[in-house]
Amino acid sequence: MNRISERLYQAVQPIWEQTHRHPFVTGLGDGSLSPHTFSFYMKQDYLFLLEYAKLFAIASTKAVDLETSARFAKLQEATLNEEMALHRAYAERFGISAAELEGSQPSFVMHAYTSYMLKVAYQGTLAELVSAVLPCMWSYWEIGKRLAKADGALAHPLYGEWVRTYSSDEFGELAQWLIDLLDRLAADSSEADRARLEQHFLTTSKMEYLFWEMAYREELWPIR
Ligand SMILES: Cc1ncc(CO)c(N)n1
């Protein structure tokens, strides 16, 4: 099969490599990241995941077969109750309540990123939706795997749990399922359709980078 995922992976390499070198990401691995900055990130990521989970609900309604529809419904459930539970547990350690997390002020980048994906989800095909949401999962898996190899990163008292979550086989299987699904959905698509999928994938890969940058700068909006 002509796997579109291979083409997408090649296309985003320059962006993903920049992401691996970003000081927020390297700081998670060597423990040099400030806890205050991490807590800022957690609040934005909590708002992000609340919107991200909705994308899976939309995907579930766009899926044709039972298995795909059910997997997306389960993915929404796991995002809200498992991935976001990690954030709630982290927040508690910082003395931030779940209500406070949900009531955080949304940053410009969080807003722009989730709005883009929701637009694609409402207007596009299931393949388009998947191509837009895939960099989130796939790039986190790549980051998790890379950080897991850094000395002491898995055992770090503050950031170890983050690294363990995103480098886990369980998270990797989810990402791989989404990659394989996109390959199947795009198997017979035209070059014009494939180019559109690549555009979404590039756009949200850049948004991922900007999300790290926003968190590192603790920037809510570039203008007051
Ligand atoms: C911004 C962002 N991208 C990806 C993930 C992984 O689901 C996450 N939690 N947050």
Atom of ligand 1 nearest to the CA of 45: 10
Q: pLDDT tens digits, residue range 144-194?
A: 999 999 999 999 999 999 999 999 999 999 999 999 999 999 999 999 999
1 has pLDDT over 90: no
Residue 49 in contact with ligand 1 by CB distance below 6 A: yes
Alpha carbons 46 and 14: distance in angstroms, whole number: 27
Alpha carbons 108 and 190: distance in angstroms, whole number: 35
CA of 4 to the centre of ligand 1 (A): 22
Q: Over the chain, what is the mean pLDDT?
A: 96
Predicted confidence at residue 49, as pLDDT, reads 97
Q: Domain ranges in the chain? A: 4-26+35-213
Predicted confidence at residue 2, as pLDDT, reads 86
Catalytic residue among 83, 128, 142, 208: 208
Residue 140 in contact with ligand 1 by CB distance below 6 A: yes
Atom of ligand 1 nearest to the CA of 166: 6
Q: pLDDT tens digits, residue range 10-41?
A: 999 999 999 999 999 999 999 999 999 999 99
Predicted confidence at residue 47, as pLDDT, reads 97
CA of 135 to the centre of ligand 1 (A): 9
Q: pLDDT tens digits, residue range 65-96?
A: 999 999 999 999 999 998 999 899 989 988 89
User: Is the ipTM, as predicted for this complex, more than 0.90?
Assistant: yes
Look up the pTM and report it: 0.97
Predicted confidence at residue 201, as pLDDT, reads 98
Residue 46 in contact with ligand 1 by CB distance below 6 A: no
Predicted confidence at residue 86, as pLDDT, reads 87
Atom of ligand 1 nearest to the CA of 79: 7
CA of 7 to the centre of ligand 1 (A): 22
Alpha carbons 79 and 54: distance in angstroms, whole number: 10
Predicted confidence at residue 98, as pLDDT, reads 86
Q: pLDDT tens digits, residue range 100-115?
A: 898 999 999 999 999 9
Residue 45 in contact with ligand 1 by CB distance below 6 A: yes
Q: Which of 48, 116, 164 to mutate to test the pocket of ligand 1 (most atoms within 8 A of CB)?
A: 48
Question: Is 17 tagged catalytic?
Answer: no
The structural architecture, per CATH, of the domain 4-26+35-213 is Up-down Bundle (1.20)
Predicted confidence at residue 209, as pLDDT, reads 98
Three state DSSP letters for the chain:
CCCHHHHHHHHHHHHHHHHHCCHHHHHHHHCCCCHHHHHHHHHHHHHHHHHHHHHHHHHHHHCCCHHHHHHHHHHHHHHHHHHHHHHHHHHHHCCCCHHHHHCCCCCHHHHHHHHHHHHHHHHCCHHHHHHHHHHHHHHHHHHHHHHHCCCCCCCCCCCHHHHHHHHCHHHHHHHHHHHHHHHHHCCCCCHHHHHHHHHHHHHHHHHHHHHHHHHHHCCCCCCC
Predicted confidence at residue 146, as pLDDT, reads 98
